Amino acid sequence: MASAADESDGPRRQQCIDVLCGYLRLPYDPGHGNSGRAKLVTTLPLDGGGETEEHVEYRQNDREVRRTIIRVIADHLQAGAEFSWSTSDFDFRAARLEDAAFGGAVFSGRTRFDKATFDGPAGFERATFDGPVGFERATFGGPVAFTGAVFDHRARFDEAGFDDSASFQEATFNGDAGFYRATFSGHARFQWAVFTGDSEFYRATFNGHARFDNATFHRAGMLRGATFNGHAGFQHVTFNGAAGLGKATFNGHAEFQQSTFNDTAQFDEAVFHGPAGFSGCGSPGRPASRAPTSAPSRSSSKPRHDGARPSGNSTGITTPERSRRISNRTSGHRR
Q: What is the pLDDT of residues 258-276, one digit of tens each?
A: 999 999 999 999 999 999 9
Task: Name which residue leads in pLDDT, 166 or 286.
Answer: 166
pLDDT confidence bin for 55, thresholds 50/70/90: low
- Counting residues of the chain whose pLDDT is more than 70, the rounded percentage is 78
Q: Per the confidence metrics, is the pTM higher than 0.85?
A: no
| pLDDT for 142 | 97
Residue 4 to residue 223: CA distance in whole angstroms:
47
- Secondary structure of residue 334 in the 3-state scheme: helix
Secondary structure element (H or E) that encloses residue 217, with its range: strand 216-217
What is the average pLDDT score of the chain? 84
Residue type, position 85, single letter: W
| pLDDT for 44 | 75
Are residues 42 and 58 in contact, defined by beta-carbon separation less than 8 angstroms?
Answer: no
Strands 39-45 and 51-57: antiparallel
- For the chain, give percent helix, strand, coil, nearest 5: 15, 25, 60
Residue type, position 184, single letter: F
| DSSP sequence for 258-305 | T-EESS-EE-TT-EE-S-EE-TT-B-TTS-TTSPP--S-TT-----EE
CB-count burial class (<10 Å; 0-12, 13-18, 19+) for 57: exposed
Give Cα 53 distance to the centre of its chain: 43
Q: What is the pLDDT of residues 61-81, one digit of tens each?
A: 688 999 999 999 999 999 999
Query: Which letter does DSSP use for residue 292 in this model?
Result: P
pLDDT confidence bin for 301, thresholds 50/70/90: very low
Kindly tell me if the per-residue pLDDT of 224 is higher than 60.
yes
- Secondary structure of residue 184 in the 3-state scheme: strand
Query: Which letter does DSSP use for residue 291 in this model?
Result: P
Q: What is the pLDDT of residues 150-159, one digit of tens each?
A: 999 999 999 9
Residue 202 to residue 245: CA distance in whole angstroms:
9
pLDDT confidence bin for 168, thresholds 50/70/90: very high
Residue 102 to residue 107: CA distance in whole angstroms:
10
Residue type, position 259, single letter: S
DSSP H helical segments within 179-243, as ranges?
none
Length of the chain: 335
| pLDDT for 8 | 86
Triad 227, 184, 170: Cα angle to 5°: 105
Secondary structure element (H or E) that encloses residue 210, with its range: strand 210-211
Please list, in sequence order, all residues whose beta carbon lies within 8 angstroms of the beta carbon of residue 50, skipping any fewer than 6 positions away. none
Distances (CA, A) of 192 to 5, 169, 221, 233: 38, 6, 15, 12
pLDDT confidence bin for 28, thresholds 50/70/90: confident
Residue among 122, 117, 90 at smallest CA distance from 106: 90
Kindly tell me if the per-residue pLDDT of 303 is higher than 60.
no
Question: Which backbone phi and psi does 145 adopt, to 5 degrees?
Answer: -130, 120
Beta bridge partners of 140: 118, 162
Across 206-230, average pLDDT: 97
Beta bridge partners of 167: 145, 189
Kindly tell me if the per-residue pLDDT of 294 is higher than 70.
no
Query: Which letter does DSSP use for residue 66 in this model?
Result: H
| pLDDT for 60 | 53
